[in-house]
Structure 1
Amino acid sequence: MTQYPHLLAPLDLGFTTLKNRVLMGSMHTGLEETKDWNRVAAFYAARARGGVALMVTGGMAPNPEGGVFPGAAGLYTDDDIANHRIVTQRVHDAGGKIAMQILHAGRYAYSPGCVAPSAIKSPISPFAPKELDEDGIEKQISDMVTAAVRARQAGYDGVEVMGSEGYFLNQFLVTHTNKRTDRWGGSYENRMRLPVEVVRRVRAAVGPDFIVIYRLSMIDLVPNGSTWAEVVQLARAIEAAGATILNTGIGWHEARIPTIATSVPRRAFAWVTQKLMGAVTIPVITSNRINTPAVAESVLAERCADMVSMARPFLADPDFVAKAQAGKAAEIAPCIACNQACLDHTFGGKLSSCLVNPRACHETELTIIPADTQKAVAVVGAGPAGLSAALTAAERGHAVTIFDKSGELGGQLNMAKQIPGKEEFWGLVDYYSTMVAKAGITLRLGAPATPEMLADFDEIIIATGVAPRDPGIPGQDGPNVLSYIDVLRGKAKVGKTVAIVGAGGIGFDVAGYLVTDDSPTENLPEWLQEWGVGDPEKVRGGLRNEGPQPDAPVRAVTLLQRKSEKLGKRLGKTTGWIHRAGLQMKNVQMIGGVNYEKIDAAGLHISYGDAREKPKVIVADTIVLCAGQVPERSLADVLIAAGRQVHVIGGADVAAELDAKRAIDQGTRLAATI
């Protein structure tokens, strides 16, 4: 008897059956752009072996003007068809099914040749689009249909027509981006003509026995977005045009509401998809922040959808479904929705991967194989770098012992999990504990490692992390001054007015911790209110008329930095704006370009610029030091001085804002070579 009867039930589509209710949603990984089709195939085949019923590729451009960026992958030639056939054959050999997403970016295309319904520039691209004429629209339809035909020739089991997230077809639907007065604009019947026509002609071209998914924007989260009545009207028209499945899109890329970051509650938008259930007869898929089998099962059991889409959870663990089937959910590497190695990489023009699984998109290059010689390996430090090194070394057959002065695994992940909006880190720490126990790794916790303890090991990995940087502010040893470590570990009382020294990632996290009482990430109605998300049946596009309404801050906080640049500039590319907006909603004052003169009972004394002008006092009960980190490598230095060879990784190697992504990657890659 399975724990997940709804999740693992087959889905009969008439001409084919999906073996379970799990879709691996589309992700732009950058793999197709490498032109290494064996590498692309290895990525998808791994997920097929892991048991997912159906996968959707990253968006394939139907033509150059529709590409997300110049050179974006597509199916233009016979060579392209042959290359894609390598992928589909490997997926089929692994027992999976795969659909190709047809994505036309419209005004989101990062190219001077971009096209759109109207010549209105997107806020996320520097290029103004060209308004299409009648012939231009016909060309886009024809090219999308041709892409679908080529997908079938390449062996795909279906296509997904991308009609959400503010891309080309979505741009025709709303008056926010469609100002036309011809038959493609004006009334909603005219504005929805293009997506319906695309689906109708795709179905006619590919025949009845081919999966056609339409990605429907359920809630736009932009001004003048679609009403719910329009969403339902379009869904029914798309069904009538021949779609097999309706998939869910949530929010446009330019929306100022987070939709897939870690601070978004789990299954935050399943209630929107549920509204469509019964309005159409074809299967409906829900998506966004569904990252465990239990969450997916509850969504399906509550009839929020017929199927769930999970994308990034399959970066974190390609065997997600297989482990769920085997009753091993605790062994699933969790997607923590950090965006650091996936979306941040994508929008930075880099190959995607995963913070918790560096092998994602590197399957052919980062291989974990049994070691030729089994060794005794000591890992000093039970943070992310040490844990990833230890688990990889144990997987390869080495006898591993972990040392840590703390009595628990996780290192500074145990501070990260205390931050409101970062509750997913609890699951990551639990996962590491589960996997360390399964691997039979010996634990020596609760006391610092000494050189004598390490004398008999063949290999020593030092992952001792970081120590807080000393900012050297006169008066910083006063009773009103705390380290971020004292604050996040709950060891010190913090006053009602706080000045935070340092506005890097830790400074922002500490500010969020200090102004928040109950985390809205754990309370969906509160989160929806905080960000101003409303019921799309009542408010157009799902935006509340009154806007965001967060709870009042529990403290008055001032966040300061020495750099004169915008605070938070160096935060994650796709999440930095969320952190800034969240603190601004809590009235956090942000001040840059300061000198820290001294601290006394009145608070923090600052001045500005090289001339140390405009001295003032930031009145505060408590000053919290978040002034960066330095490597903690005292043990490594002692061992090296004694002639021992050691490997130094993670923060002990480079102290850079508690960078778990780099630490886990470095630990995995090192252990793969020992």
Structure 2
Amino acid sequence: MLKKYQKLFETIKIGSVEMKNRFAMAPMGPLGLADAEGGFNHRGIDYYTARAKGGTGLIITGVTFVDNEIEEHGMPNVPCSTHNPVHFIRTSREMTERIHAYDAKIFLQLSGGFGRVTIPTNLGEYPPVAPSPIKHRWLDKTCRELTVEEIKSIIKKFGDGAYNAKRAGFDGVQIHAVHEGYLIDQFAISFFNHRTDEYGGCLENRLRFAREIVEEIKKRCGEDFPVTLRYSPKSFIKDWREGALPGEEFEEKGRDIPEGIEAAKLLVSYGYDALDVDVGSYDSWWWSHPPMYQEKGLYIPYAKIVKEAVNVPVLCAGRMDNPDLALKAIEDGACDIISLGRPLLADSDLVNKLRGGKLKSIRPCLSCQEGCMGRIQEYSALNCAVNPEACRETIHGLTPALKSKTVLIAGGGVAGCEAARVLALRGHKPVVYEKRSRLGGNLIPGGTPDFKEDDLLLVAWYEETLKDLGVEVNCNTELTAEIIKSSEADTVIIATGSKPKIFNLGEYNNVFTAEDVLLEKVNSGNEVIVVGGGLVGCELALWLAQKGKKVTIVEIQKKLLALNGPLCHANSEMLERLIPYKGIEVLTSSKIIKTTEKGALVDAAGDIREISADSIVLAVGYNSEKSVYEQLKYDIGDIHLIGDARKVSNIMYAIWDAYEVARNI
């Protein structure tokens, strides 16, 4: 162990339960990890066990519902400890016993429901509920007000669910949640709670739901069975469906810090054994599920505020994968436990690797949210963009090759690197050829903005991993069709990526690609027109604006990010709001006609005008580069086309395609 990080591996107690280190796995929606009767399926059992095996001291499952009658969730969306208790206990017992074998602890996260924030793909035809008749977060519907009898029923089911969890071997539970604007949080916030009975009005009444839940669980399970709470001391709500950006001045409509401190003290006095702190709401989703545009460790100041107000352990998540940042948070007294969510999706062995001093071998999370929240949002499935094995550890894992083959790989972008990694792990002999001076492909320019630093960390991880695996890498070498034909390779993989689309805009030569500007091969000047409002164009514009440039985005579609997707709403909504917040002008339904001496002539939704610019930067997409494949596809028996060379997409599909092909060679 690196002595520097020794404090992160000290023991700590939550109530009566002792953790072997200061790391917890943050709860993430276990979509796809349940069976038809509400138990954990083998995907779920293997997924959580892998993180315990990887050294995490406390596993906190994603949300499991206690009620499926008042707020129906369309079983089997996620596990449920009350739907079929015998079956839940049987499947969970297998999981908790395996997790305990690694000296890890596990808490079951119990939810009272989503209320007005239920994601439409999970809602089906069921009517949304809430503390009062308020607007739904996503749909043009008014929620139905819960009756007192229904509230009492949910509270009783919390007791039933926790009792079943205890029988199943869980070491405690976490209540979901007085955070992020979920149902119990909607009761706690006056903006959402307009009731005049004992569950509305003053703060103590609005917290009554949360109070009666912990009291019921303690009555059923005993005082020594820990009950923790996911808790947000600040909501960042400007208005219905409108959240605030970092640094923005606004009037808080949700819970603000003074009430957040008071509520934290009350919740602990009610019997909660620890508070798991974040900030935000579904109306400001980029706080609750921080994209790469948020700074790392963004919850630390809020965790410290709570920590100074209460005398129970405080957990802190929120882009905490930098061990120096995590250590400082513990040493400064901001929190007691470091909670890792997406970083443990990306690398289940993160904690053990840190403990062993193998920092370079930790696969980084990109905060892209394409494999996790994006897929939960669109397909009700939890996965990871950079780790194809996440949530399918055994059914999708690797097996040794029956016969070792020599595999030539054309292209050293993420698809080529992932293919080489998987092939080497299986016992094949991959040889990578990259025509540029280093591996990484489009991640090199893409990772230039400071908010995309983890893209470059992923490149560095591949470089380190391939080196450790002994993979032969030939940079500054293009693998041509002639070289391949003359080789004695058993298999060929074409991962030559894609090239930026370029078109003629007239006689002036101040037109550049996004790649050239990001790599600073050219000087963009102080006034820049970015042609294209997709993800590349918007991130480029944001980066340029942060450097003090005057930027205009010209987008032919009716809105920004129209052709990208599915992006997690937290990412897309934050980026969409950052664009005007940073002073970037946006012209939609518009197109460049031609360059001029002063800049460019633009058709801005039918209004023809000249816009002053030092440069026009094209961010209008990419074309697959597969010329080598086209030359070879009839001559090579075992040849595969993967990544952007097959179809221009994103990092996730480049990695997933490569993994799938390489695991079956």
Would the TM-score normalized by the shorter structure come out above 0.5? yes
Q: Which residue of 2 aligns with 1:81?
A: 89
Q: Which residue of 2 aligns with 1:276?
A: 306
1:615 deviates by: 3.3
1:565 deviates by: 4.6
1:464 deviates by: 0.8
Counterpart secondary structure, 2:211: helix
Q: TM-score, normalised by structure 2?
A: 0.90
Give CA-to-partner distance per residue, 1:203-258, whole Å, 9 cap, x none.
11111332211112122212333343433333233323322222113211212654
Give CA-to-partner distance per residue, 1:453-491, whole Å, 9 cap, x none.
4313222111111012233x441x632111112111100
Q: Which residue of 1 aligns with 2:172?
A: 158
| Cα distance between partner residues in 1 of 2:48 and 2:420 | 27
Q: 2:148 aligns with which of 114, 134, 152?
A: 134
Work out whether 1:578 is the aligned partner of 2:574. Answer: yes
Q: Which residue of 2 aligns with 1:648?
A: 641
| Cα distance between partner residues in 1 of 2:71 and 2:490 | 52
| Cα distance between partner residues in 2 of 1:673 and 1:20 | 38
Task: Pick closer, same or farther for the CA change 1:316–1:68 going to 2, 3 Å.
Answer: farther
Q: Which residue of 2 aligns with 1:467?
A: 499
Q: Which residue of 2 aligns with 1:199?
A: 214
Task: Pick closer, same or farther for the CA change 1:466–1:86 going to 2, 3 Å.
Answer: same
Give the conservation status (yes or no) of the 8 Å contact 1:403–1:443: yes
Q: Which residue of 1 aligns with 2:551?
A: 557
Counterpart secondary structure, 2:95: helix
The equivalences for 1:159-558 within 5 A come to 159-163=173-177, 164-222=179-237, 223-255=252-284, 258-259=287-288, 260-454=290-484, 455-471=487-503, 473-475=504-506, 478-517=508-547, 554-558=548-552
Give the conservation status (yes or no) of the 8 Å contact 2:19–2:104: no
Give the conservation status (yes or no) of the 8 Å contact 2:130–2:145: yes
AA aligned to 1:598 is K
1:152 deviates by: 1.5
Q: 2:610 aligns with which of 605, 617, 622?
A: 617
Where structure 2 has 5 or more consecutive residues not aligned to the other structure, the ranges are 238-251
Task: Pick closer, same or farther for the CA change 1:617–1:18 going to 2, 3 Å.
Answer: same
Give CA-to-partner distance per residue, 1:512-535, whole Å, 9 cap, x none.
222112xxxxxxxxxxxxxxxxxx
Q: RMSD value over aligned CA atoms? A: 2.2
| Cα distance between partner residues in 2 of 1:105 and 1:597 | 48
Q: Which residue of 2 aligns with 1:538?
A: none
Give the conservation status (yes or no) of the 8 Å contact 2:261–2:305: no
Work out whether 1:108 is the aligned partner of 2:102. Answer: no
Q: 2:622 aligns with which of 626, 629, 637?
A: 629
| Cα distance between partner residues in 2 of 1:194 and 1:456 | 70
Task: Pick closer, same or farther for the CA change 1:442–1:316 going to 2, 3 Å.
Answer: same
Counterpart secondary structure, 1:558: strand
| Cα distance between partner residues in 2 of 1:429 and 1:604 | 36
**Percent of residue pairs identical:** 29
Task: Pick closer, same or farther for the CA change 1:67–1:59 going to 2, 3 Å.
Answer: farther
| Cα distance between partner residues in 1 of 2:209 and 2:464 | 50
Q: Which residue of 1 aligns with 2:33?
A: 32
Give CA-to-partner distance per residue, 1:265-313, whole Å, 9 cap, x none.
1111211111222432221111111113333222212211111111111
AA aligned to 2:196 is T
Counterpart secondary structure, 1:161: strand
Q: TM-score, normalised by structure 1?
A: 0.89
Q: 2:586 aligns with which of 583, 590, 597?
A: 590
| Cα distance between partner residues in 1 of 2:260 and 2:608 | 56
Give CA-to-partner distance per residue, 1:55-79, whole Å, 9 cap, x none.
1111111112565843333222233
Greater mean alpha carbon deviation, residues 383-392 or residues 5-14: 5-14
Give the conservation status (yes or no) of the 8 Å contact 2:71–2:129: no
AA aligned to 1:339 is Q
Q: Which residue of 2 aligns with 1:525?
A: none
The equivalences for 1:142-153 within 5 A come to 142-153=156-167
Q: Which residue of 2 aligns with 1:638?
A: 631
Give the conservation status (yes or no) of the 8 Å contact 1:22–1:308: yes
Counterpart secondary structure, 1:52: coil
Greater mean alpha carbon deviation, residues 568-577 or residues 457-466: 568-577
1:88 deviates by: 2.5
1:594 deviates by: 3.2
1:18 deviates by: 0.8
Q: Which residue of 2 aligns with 1:601?
A: 597
Give CA-to-partner distance per residue, 1:8-63, whole Å, 9 cap, x none.
11113463311111110110131234547112111111111111111111111111
Work out whether 1:4 is the aligned partner of 2:5. Answer: yes
Task: Pick closer, same or farther for the CA change 1:70–1:129 going to 2, 3 Å.
Answer: farther
Counterpart secondary structure, 1:493: coil
Counterpart secondary structure, 2:451: coil
**Residues paired across the two proteins, number:** 631
Task: Pick closer, same or farther for the CA change 1:66–1:31 going to 2, 3 Å.
Answer: farther
Q: Which residue of 1 aligns with 2:655?
A: 664
AA aligned to 2:91 is N
1:642 deviates by: 4.3
| Cα distance between partner residues in 2 of 1:24 and 1:118 | 33
Greater mean alpha carbon deviation, residues 49-58 or residues 137-146: 137-146
| Cα distance between partner residues in 2 of 1:286 and 1:579 | 25
| Cα distance between partner residues in 2 of 1:99 and 1:605 | 61
Give the conservation status (yes or no) of the 8 Å contact 1:568–1:580: no
Greater mean alpha carbon deviation, residues 597-606 or residues 326-335: 597-606
Give the conservation status (yes or no) of the 8 Å contact 1:66–1:105: no
Task: Pick closer, same or farther for the CA change 1:645–1:370 going to 2, 3 Å.
Answer: closer
| Cα distance between partner residues in 1 of 2:257 and 2:72 | 28
| Cα distance between partner residues in 2 of 1:407 and 1:146 | 61
Greater mean alpha carbon deviation, residues 11-20 or residues 192-201: 11-20
Counterpart secondary structure, 1:100: strand
| Cα distance between partner residues in 2 of 1:68 and 1:156 | 25
| Cα distance between partner residues in 1 of 2:308 and 2:72 | 34
Give the conservation status (yes or no) of the 8 Å contact 1:88–1:155: yes
Query: Which runs of 4 or more aligned residues in structure 1 lie more than 6 Å from their structure 2 counterparts after TM superposition?
Result: none
